[in-house]
Amino acid sequence: MIVPLPERFAEFRHVVVITGAGISAESGIPTFRGEGGLWRNYRAEDLATPSAFRKDPQLVWEWYEMRREICRQAEPNAAHQTLVEMERHFREIGSFLLVTQNVDGLHRRAGNENIVEIHGSIWRVRCTECGRECERLHLDTVPPHCSCGGVERPAVLWFGESYDSIVLETVRAALEKADVCLVIGSSGQVSLPVALAREARRSGAMVVEVNLERSEFSDVADFSFFDKAGSALPELWASWRKLIR
């Protein structure tokens, strides 16, 4: 059960949300390091690298096609829908930015618009020759090829690659003015989101965590709600709305 929220929530105008694999797990998408993390005796960490792709692009793309099919069959859940409602409200009175670690595209399918996908999208490809990037919902061949003839790779961030500096600048600019930073379904095993939450706290934002259990964010959070996002987030938002006049 969500505890009563402080009255100051009524004054919040600028919101940043960070989401991780936990929010998509409720839609049936296995977490990256969970029980679904093994495939053909490979670890996900061994397939999601530039070197693995150079060595065997066919194998990597077969793995990504399996993941894409899982994502294709999944549907946004109540937590995704609540974030759509929150975006509509806060974009009218201030600002809202959704920063997701997830590559499944469920936030966009739910209806969120102001999104930063810090790890890219499983539905986009990038040519390894000319660098052209585009959306490919369905592949004619595996691996796919660009019009220039180059092999295309998934346009996602792999192990050993760096975050886009422009993307990070956008996120940090939003965090500097944020009144509250919500962290939903992220364990904190990926270091960047934890660092972003700490930056938000240093900038004066309240940090609210919604997770199944304690995480790397718990020591940063002003409030922690340990429950499924699909039930906790709608309840939290309902309590929040009661404070808004």
Mean pLDDT to the nearest integer, 75-92: 98
- Find the catalytic residue in 80, 119, 138, 145: 119
Q: What is the mean pLDDT of residues 82-111?
A: 97
221 closest CA partner among 211, 230, 212, 231? 211
Residue 37 has a pLDDT of 46
- Rounded to an integer, the average pLDDT of 173-193 is 91
Strand partners, 225: 210
For residue 182, pLDDT over 90 is answered with yes
Render pLDDT for 97-128 as a digit per residue (tens, 0 to 9). 999 999 999 999 999 999 999 999 999 999 99
- Higher pLDDT: 153 or 245? It is 153
| Residue 210: predicted pLDDT | 95
Residue 194 shares a structural domain with residue 133: no
Q: What is the CATH number of the domain that holds 40?
A: 3.30.1600.10
Same domain (yes/no): 85, 196 = yes
* pLDDT value for 199: 93
Nearest to 196 by CA among 162, 220, 164: 220
What's the rounded Cα separation, in Å, for the pair 216 and 189? 7
Task: Tell me the CATH number at 226.
Answer: 3.40.50.1220
How much is the average pLDDT of 74-88?
98
> How much is the average pLDDT of 19-48?
75
Q: 46-80 burial, b for 16+ CB within 10 Å, e for fewer?
A: ebbbeebbeeebebbbbbbeebbebbeebebbbbb
**pTM (2 d.p.):** 0.93
Domain with 139, as residue range(s), is: 35-73+124-156
Both 44 and 98 in one domain: the answer is no
Taking residues 122-144, what's their average pLDDT? Answer: 96
Q: For the chain, what is the mean pLDDT? A: 92
Quickly tell me which residue has 């706290």 as its tokens: 201
Same domain as 195, residue 134:
no
The answer to whether residue 192 sits within a structural domain is yes
Render pLDDT for 36-64 as a digit per residue (tens, 0 to 9). Answer: 444 556 777 678 999 999 999 999 999 99
Total tally of structural domains belonging to the chain: 2
Residue 119 a catalytic site member: yes
Q: Tell me the C-alpha distance between 187 and 173, whole Å.
A: 24
pLDDT at 82 over 80: yes
Give the amino acid at 115. Answer: I
The reply to whether 115 and 138 lie within a common domain is: no
